[in-house]
Every structure is written in C-alpha cells, then in structure tokens.
Amino acid sequence: MVNSIVEGHGTFDSLQQQRLLEIADSAFEIKELAAAVSAPKCNIDGSPLITTQAATVLATFRHLAGIVSVMDPEKLPQVMRNVAAATTQLDPHVVMQIMQTDEGMQETPIIGQIAESFDDEKVAELLATALAKDGKASKRLARIFDTIAPDEERKKRVLRLTRNLLSEHDFGRSSQFKAVWNSMEELLLSYDESPYVSSSYQASLEGAVGRSEMFSTRDLPPELPEWVESLQQDNVRALSVLLITDLLRIEEKAERAAEIADDMTALVEDLMMSGDFDNSALVMRELKRAREGKVAPAAARAALTQIGESIALREAASMIADFDDRTLPLFMECCECAGPVTIRAFHPALQSEHETVEYVRARDLVTRFGAPGISHLAALADDDRWFVQRNAALLLGATKHADAVAVLQGLLRRNDSRVLKAAVSALAGIDDPAAARAVQTALRAASGTNRDAVVEALVAEKDPRVVPMLARILAESDPFGADHQTVLDTLQAVRQLADDRSVRSVVGVMRRTKLLAWKKARVVKEAAVMALTAIASAHAKSALEEAARTGDWMLKRVIKQMQGAA
C-alpha cells in the first residue's frame, strides 16, 4: 500500500481500502503511514525533499479522507481530527510546507480543516519544534504562523506557550536564547522585512505610506497597470525561473552548479504540481543543456532523473488526457528532457485494453524514447492481463531494436493467440538474426490456433521488412526434420507476400533433397513452386524454368504436374 501511494497510484483494492479505513481510526497509525510514504523522498545524500515529502503526505491524507467519505462518511469529522493530531507529530518543516499549499477548489479542504483543528497548544508545540530545530525564525515561518493564528491576542498566547515549551529544550536554556527569542518574537508578531533588507531599503519602505498619500492626490501614471501586472504570481514565478536558469547557465564551479541543479529539481516539482508547464519546460531545457555541458553534467543528469521519478510528474501524467493542444507539447517536452525513466509514470495509462485518449498520448510519448525505453517497458510484459502484454509487445516492437527481442521472446511463450500475434508482429519489424530465430522457434512450437496466429501476424500488414526475416528462417531451417512444418508455414507466408527478394531463399529450399524423405521432399517442393508462381516476377519465372531443366527428377515432375494443372 505504501508503494502504491509513493508511486502515485490513485486506486486501491478492497483489502487496501479496508486497511486505510482502519488506519483512519488512529492518529498514531496515520502518523506512521505519513512517515512511511515520505521517507523515500530524499536526495542522494539523504537530505529530505521537503516539498515532495509534503506533497506525498498531503496526497495520503486525501486518500484517507476520500475513502472514508465514500465508505463511512459519518466518521469523516473524527478522521480529520485524527489527521490533525498526526500532523503535529510530523517533521515541522514538512508540516509548514503542507500548510502553505494552495488547495484550490478541493472537495475536502484538508489543509483548512487541519488549521482549524489546531488549538493553541498544538500550534505552540509545532512552532517550538520548528524554532528549536532551526535556531531562528524565518519569514516563511512567520507567514505560516500568521495564517494559522491571524488573531493578535492568539499570537501572543501561542508565543507564551512556545517559550515555555522551549525552556524545556537545550536551545531554550542556552545563554544566548533571550536575545535570539527577542528577535524571533519581533518577527513573528510584526512580520516585517527589517531583518532581511538594507537600511536604505527599509527607510524607503517606511516612507512608502507618506508617498502614497501624496500620489493619491495626483493622476495615476499610465504605466500603473503594467506595474501591478508585474507583481502577479505568474510573473513572479516566471522571474524566479529566469533567475535560477541564468544562475546555472553562468555558474563555473561544479559544486555550486550541483546545488543549483538540486534547487531546480524542487522548483520543477512545485511548478508541475501547480500546472505551470511553460516554466517547467524552461527549467528542464536548461537542465538538459547542463547535462550535456562540462560543469556539472552528473548533477544535471541526476536532477532530471529525480524529476522523472517524482510524484509531481506522476500526478501530471495521470491528467494527460485532459491537457489541451497547447499544454500537451510542453508536458511532452518535459518528459523527453527527463528521459526514459518517465515511462514508469505512464504505466497506468499503458495498461488500457482500449485505445483511450490517455493511452494514445502515453503511447506516442513512449515511442519517442526508442531503445533506451525498453528496460522501463519490460515490467508491462510481466503483467497477467493479456491486453497489457499485447500493449507491451506493440510498444517494444515500435523500438525496432534488438534489445527488445529478449522481452518479446518471453511473450511468445504466452498461451493467448492475441499476445502471440502482437509479439510476432513486433519481432517481424526488428532486423536482427535473434528476432528471426525467435519467430522460427515460435513457428516450430506453436500448433493449431497459435500457429495460424503466427503466420497471420507475419503477413497481415504486408510489411516488406518481414521478407528478410522469412528468408533467414528458410535458410536456417531443416525442411526434412523438426522444422518441416515451420518451412511449410514460412513458404505460405512468402506466397502471400509475393516479394521478389525471397526468390533466392525459396529456390534454395526447393532444390534441397534427402534420401528416404521423399514424401516430405515432395510437399516442400510443391510449396516452393507455389510460392515462386505466386511471386510471378521475372526472377521467379526464370528460377522455375531453370529448375524444370536442371532440377532433380522429383522437382521436374512437380513443376510439370503443377504447370499442367494450371
């Protein structure tokens, strides 16, 4: 169940749903589940990805609320109280990130209900933990504190409780705590910018009110709408993207470039979660450029891989059917930049029995990766459902690469003729001796419906690329031994394709003889003559005329009888 949540799956079986209902009854178990799903979301060095962890925990809370609201809606208020109690026991930085997430028009506003359920003691405990861990207050912490406790009197009450709690920690008993606390209290209560700006800028801010009163008596400048527009969230976000991409582009030190790439990873995840694929694509392009550069290619490569495996990309992939014509190419570009690892995010879409919009778009993206995507498609071939195996064969065949042969060979051993047909069609499009041997083995081992499915797959699309494979099968098969039926089936496929390139291989089989195998020899020669007759090219006619003059006595008789019958 934890793996399902971490991988971004949105559906659970009945056993998992029942387990989630049991977990919802206990704040402790909710906390344990939240800790389990967030634990894997760390950098290579072990440092936590706070934004990703917060998104994962929030998604978990929403799964709990959604299942309870459907299966036992009367318990939902108690469950939300349990969620709030569990939240206070999580990493305070993760909680802070959750509390500043924009819920939009969610049917069950989790964050709002969590904030409402926090009493003074819970807010104080959360605040004390964050302050003790960081050793200082930050502007971000002040903003979230202002959101949870907007009332001035409540802020003062919570701060008194917080100081009492801190007095029990080593941080609260340190000699410099009093001075540090004064600055913390000032920031948390006043929530101004003074600790972070220069004196001249602060003086400018302090005089802003007077200047605004003066300008209020004048006509507004014509540029005002543009100025106000520049402060909108989209523009500020675009500026952040521009700055960080410029930083990576001009950075010459590998260590610093690696830090910037790591920051860009978190930024892209946030952008994707907010649906901003324009800026996501800008950042991804710069990381891709850095991956091919000389300063920190390994760090950029790791950042792109991490984005490709992120919950943010999985969430976006689940909505691919809803993207409009402008958004879809941007998202596709982001996936291409991240690389073939993004294929795993589309596994749910690729497990469709029918060609839905979601499946078609996911398929189009996957086929762009070619051979590098084969290892990420192999998991689909292990699925027990026939249509998922069929989809895996089609996608592997689209790579047209020899590396796909091993996986397709496994699909040839399936008993379902629909899967077998798709696997043979895929192998037929791969120009490699291993693919031809795999089809040869399939023809030899199949019988009845499955054998018909193999032959039908070889000739169904009239694909000229199949001809070299059939020629190779004829050249490597023993028409008088275990491969007798295989040769006959191959000659039947050659006859239906009627391609002049197969004449040489057909002639080679037609002229082969073996002592004490007259019956099999005659059947093979008849099939070969029928194939050459169907090809009907000048080369084929010449080969028949030459065989009628210089062939063995059985071949001459077969040609004479068949021409007479015609």
**What are the DSSP calls for 237-286, one per residue?**
HHHHHHHHHHHHHH---HHHHHHHHHHHHHHHHHHHHTT-HHHHHHHHHH
Residue that has been written with the tokens 């030459």 in this structure? 546
Q: How far apart are CA 30 and CA 522, in angstroms?
A: 76
What is the average per-residue pLDDT within 282-301?
90
Q: Is the pLDDT of residue 142 over 80?
A: no
In a domain, 226, yes or no: no
Q: Is the pLDDT of residue 402 over 80?
A: yes
Banded model confidence at residue 396, pLDDT cuts 50, 70, 90: very high
Q: Are residues 410 and 321 in the same domain?
A: no
Q: Are residues 23 and 157 in the same domain?
A: yes
491 touches 461 (CB < 8 A) = no
The predicted structure's pLDDT at residue 492: 86
Q: Are residues 444 and 498 in the same domain?
A: no
Q: Is the pLDDT of residue 559 over 70?
A: yes
Q: Are residues 408 and 440 in the same domain?
A: yes
Mapped onto helix, strand or coil, the DSSP state of residue 413 is: coil
Banded model confidence at residue 395, pLDDT cuts 50, 70, 90: very high
Q: Is the pLDDT of residue 37 over 90?
A: no
Q: Is the pLDDT of residue 40 over 60?
A: yes
HSE at residue 325, side-chain half, CA atoms within 13 A, is 0
The predicted structure's pLDDT at residue 252: 86
Q: How far apart are CA 497 and CA 473, in angstroms?
A: 15
Question: Is the pTM for the entire model greater than 0.85?
Answer: no
- Structural domain of 510: 480-566
Residue where a domain terminates, one of 197, 216, 246: 197
Residue where a domain terminates, one of 139, 170, 197: 197
Nearest 10 degrees: Cα torsion 342, 345, 349, 350? 60
In a domain, 228, yes or no: no
In a domain, 310, yes or no: yes
What is the average per-residue pLDDT within 487-505?
86
Q: Are residues 389 and 442 in the same domain?
A: yes
What percent of the chain shows pLDDT beyond 70?
A: 79
Banded model confidence at residue 337, pLDDT cuts 50, 70, 90: very high
The total domain count for the chain is: 4
Measured in whole angstroms, how far is the alpha carbon of residue 312 from the centre of its chain? 9
Q: How far apart are CA 131 and CA 138, in angstroms?
A: 9
- How many other β-carbons are positioned within 10 Å of the β-carbon of residue 118? 20
Angle at 94 between CA 91 and CA 16, to 5 degrees: 90
Q: Are residues 148 and 40 in the same domain?
A: yes
Residue where a domain terminates, one of 171, 197, 223: 197
Q: What is the pLDDT of residues 177-194, one digit of tens each?
A: 555 566 666 655 554 445
The predicted structure's pLDDT at residue 193: 47
Q: Are residues 490 and 444 in the same domain?
A: no
Give the dihedral sign, CA 266/269/274/275. Answer: positive
Banded model confidence at residue 108, pLDDT cuts 50, 70, 90: low
The predicted structure's pLDDT at residue 457: 73
| Of the listed ranges 71-75, 115-119, 453-457, the one predicted with least confidence | 115-119
| Of the listed ranges 184-193, 254-263, 267-276, 515-524, the one predicted with least confidence | 184-193
Residue that has been written with the tokens 């839905």 in this structure? 356
Banded model confidence at residue 120, pLDDT cuts 50, 70, 90: confident
Q: Are residues 410 and 505 in the same domain?
A: no
Q: Are residues 378 and 449 in the same domain?
A: yes
Highest mean pLDDT among 32-36, 162-166, 410-414: 32-36
Count of helices and strands (H, E) across the chain: 35, 0
Q: How many residues does the chain have?
A: 566
Q: How far apart are CA 65 and CA 21, in angstroms?
A: 9
What is the average per-residue pLDDT within 277-294?
90
In a domain, 362, yes or no: no
What is the average per-residue pLDDT within 280-287?
92
In a domain, 470, yes or no: no
The predicted structure's pLDDT at residue 232: 64
CATH number of the domain at 425, please: 1.25.10.10
In a domain, 217, yes or no: no
Phi/psi at 458 (5° precision)? -70, -30
Q: Which residue has the higher pLDDT, 108 or 167?
A: 167
Q: Are residues 337 and 409 in the same domain?
A: no
| Of the listed ranges 84-93, 176-185, 425-434, the one predicted with least confidence | 176-185
- How many other β-carbons are positioned within 10 Å of the β-carbon of residue 327? 16
In a domain, 410, yes or no: yes
Residue that has been written with the tokens 């992939």 in this structure? 317
- How many other β-carbons are positioned within 10 Å of the β-carbon of residue 291? 20
Q: Is the pLDDT of residue 274 over 90?
A: no
Q: Is the pLDDT of residue 162 over 70?
A: yes
What is the average per-residue pLDDT within 282-288?
92
Q: Are residues 10 and 97 in the same domain?
A: yes
Highest mean pLDDT among 27-31, 152-156, 416-420, 459-463: 27-31
The predicted structure's pLDDT at residue 100: 64
In a domain, 202, yes or no: no
Banded model confidence at residue 105, pLDDT cuts 50, 70, 90: very low
Q: Is the pLDDT of residue 173 over 70?
A: no
Mapped onto helix, strand or coil, the DSSP state of residue 42 is: strand
Residue 109: name the closest of 148, 61, 172 by CA: 61
Q: Which residue has the higher pLDDT, 194 or 446?
A: 446
CA distances from 352 to 387, 388, 427, 430 (A): 7, 7, 22, 25
Amino acid symbol at 383: D
Q: How far apart are CA 234 and CA 160, in angstroms?
A: 38
Q: Are residues 83 and 161 in the same domain?
A: yes
Residue that has been written with the tokens 């028949």 in this structure? 544
Mean pLDDT rounded to a whole number for the chain: 80
